[in-house]
A = this chain, B = another copy of it.
Amino acid sequence: MKYYNYFPTRKFQIYQIFASNTNLGKTIFSTGLIRSSISKSHNNKYNYYLKPIQTGYPKDDDSNFVKTYIPKVIFFENLIKFKTLFKYEKPVSPHLAADNSIPSDENVLNKIKDYVSECYNESLNNGGRLFLETAGGVSSPVMSGTIQSEFYRVLRLPTILVGDSNLGGISTTLSSYESLLIRGYDIPIILLFNNENYNNHLFIEKYFNENQNSSIITPKIFSIQLPPKKECNDLTEYFQSNDENFKHVIDKLEEWHENRFNRFDEMERKAKETVWWPFTQHDKVNRVNVVDSAYKDLLINYNDNNNNAPSLSETFDGSASWWTQGLGHGNTKLTLTASYASGRYGHILFPESIHEPSLSLSESLLDGVGKNWADRVFYSDNGSTAMEVALKMALTEDYKEKGKETLILGLEGSYHGDTIGVMDACGPNIYNQKVTWYAPKGIWFTPPKILMKNNKYKIHTDINVSSYDSLSEIFSENRIDNDQLSYHYKQSIENQLYHYMNQGYKFGALIIEPVVMGAGGMIFVDPLYQHQLIKSVRSILKIPIIFDEVFTGFWRLGKQSGAEFLKINPDIAAYAKLLTGGLCPLAVTLSTEEIFKKFLGDTKVEALLHGHSYTAHPIGCLVGNTSVHEYYNLDWNKERECEEQDKLFSIWRKDILQQISCLPNVNGVFALGTLLSIELNDIDGGGYASNVAKLLIEKLSTFERNSIDDFGIKTRPLGNVVYIMSSLISDKKSIRNIEQKILKCLNS
């Protein structure tokens, strides 16, 4: 069976050759590199030249050109191969040359992956080097119109940039370099001709030396003698006289490659020695995920898979990197947004200031998740601080004059973050048990949970278990008047409220996570119950309603906000995670004008005295603004698989859910939006500290590399709950793969 690998390994080096413009001698440099690579590979290393896309063929057959200048003796030893994958006659950009039949990017990429894997397998015992020569310049398009730097990003191959030695070439070289850099490529080498009229290589070398960056490899500049004029056909002599020079390039590449893999090999150990991971019992850490890069839904890990030697491979980011990912890793639109904000502003002190990023995002939010209810946007850094702000907005008594402790109302199983103030707003659980200063300040009602089991959605209340056929039924507005539970909820809630009021309790706010309580264990709560709770609390206690939408906000569950599910608006709501598309920290707390006005007064003492240094930092705000617009413009219907009414959707197929729900080792399952959650049958009783899900998670993470489409799935358990969460742009094919894998793992 074929073993797929298209990433560099310690023994198999791969480099891509990009150029700053067309006609800069890319193929001459490739030839020089291949010649020297061969001559340095007397230990039988295999050498490959791959030209994925060739235009102007056969006149400009780069493979053939390179071949011409490889000493014949080499061929007999079969250590060198040449391959062109897509050939076009017209000597123009591939998007014009291919005007009759345009292969899809996926098709082209798969051919490349396939060929690289072939070379990898062929050279497995000897090691090898593959040089992949791109077409045109860094930002030139491939056949589909995707620009090359984007097209090749999924492989993120180490890059040799061919610089421009002509007049103006400093500019094109540096700009091309930057275009590669912002897409996350490593560029250990810049190669260009030594053109004595301009000496661009000298300037570029000086430039990189003066602008060294401790976090980014400084490209080493190599200049090569200009070739004789085009008319002269035989370049043998030229290449011979430059072989030594190219050998230095190969040496440098070799050195860089070795360093890279040496670093890989020490990262796990070094991480274990220096880092203190969040939410991690260090004594139980076994394998560390060494992440080399990430792209869209995939993390590229350097790990030991299936007992092979450690190598790079793809893992599906199955927890959407802690529920943050919306638009995929390495998203160029977000990168450019962040870069522009960084270049234009850096960070700006926020009080009494305004800049376009913060204003645009505020307007977008008030017109989006805050539409029809929110008037104000308060910025902070994460869900926890956003909820601290929400608490401060709701509870405004002078602490010395407050008399009896003011409590909040909430739901059992809720979770609002890790700073101690918001911990106090949650009932006792394992997260806060060892926090010395934790002091619960609330009353938490027991919410009715929903899970699908044996093809039916079941709502578990204190009095019975009700059964429903579909999510649409559960979310139907008719239930308010027609479902027998509606009356029961109202009765039960109001009885409890009066009970606590009679006991003299004082309440300052109701806090809920709409529909799904995330960190508490992916608990799917009956929306009717939450709807009724809010109504009753509003009418009886007249206290602010806070929605913690850190997890549920921005289409995580397929709707813009949890409020849409509950058909009722809060007075205050906190958002974070998806807010920046999955790029960087930013959080907001939205409120009504009524809440805001409580803080007006004559002095600062009355004001909301909260703020973090990077409040409303321009990068976060601008990336947030782009993200929420991107979400808004996504075509949700296109991705809807689960046929439901009322614009409910799930990217997970209902028939798969039903199959899972019938398994004996599954307590129940549910899916909504991007979330699929499976509660396993745990003989130990479940809960966060349980290890029941560990086995399943391990099974999901492994894979055989015998197909281009196979990948491991990385996720983290919440006790006996295993959940998979995609980004908002995950492709259907991957999701279908994951579904099959889950079924297989649950059945094995």
Contact = CB atoms under 8 A, between A and B. Distances in A.
B319 A349 contact: yes
A632 to B, nearest CB: 9
A274 to B, nearest CB: 4
Interface string A375-398: 111110111110010011001111
A689 B381 CA distance: 26
Contacts of A362: 271, 274-275
Interface stretch (A176-184, A243-251, A634-642, A675-683): A176-184
Contact of A384 (B299, B379, B385, B582): B385
A228 interface: no
A275 B379 CA distance: 9
A562 B368 CA distance: 45
Interface in A168-205: 168, 170-176, 178-179, 181-185, 197-199, 203
Contact of A382 (B183, B347, B385, B607): B385
- Between A334, A584, A629, the greatest number of chain B beta carbons within 10 A of the residue's beta carbon is seen for A584
A669 to B, nearest CB: 23
A377 B335 CA distance: 27
Contact of A625 (B215, B285, B331): B215
Contacts of A363: 270, 274
B609 A434 contact: yes
A31 to B, nearest CB: 20
Contacts of A470: none
A381 to B, nearest CB: 4
A366 interface: yes
Given A338-B619, A346-B330, A604 B294 contact: no
Given A352-B285, A421-B420, A156 B607 contact: no
A589 to B, nearest CB: 8
B354 A400 contact: no
Contacts of A329: 345-348
Contacts of A417: 612
A359 B332 CA distance: 24
A615 interface: yes
Nearest to A550: B613
A368 to B, nearest CB: 12
A434 B605 contact: yes
Given A274-B375, A322-B613, A439-B399, A343 B181 contact: yes
Contact of A184 (B277, B345, B406, B428): B345
A85 interface: no
A376 B281 CA distance: 14
Contacts of A96: 198-199
Contacts of A612: 278, 381-384, 417-418, 585
B289 A377 contact: no
Given A322-B349, A339-B342, A385-B385, 4 more contacts: A21-B21, A329-B348, A384-B419, A419-B420
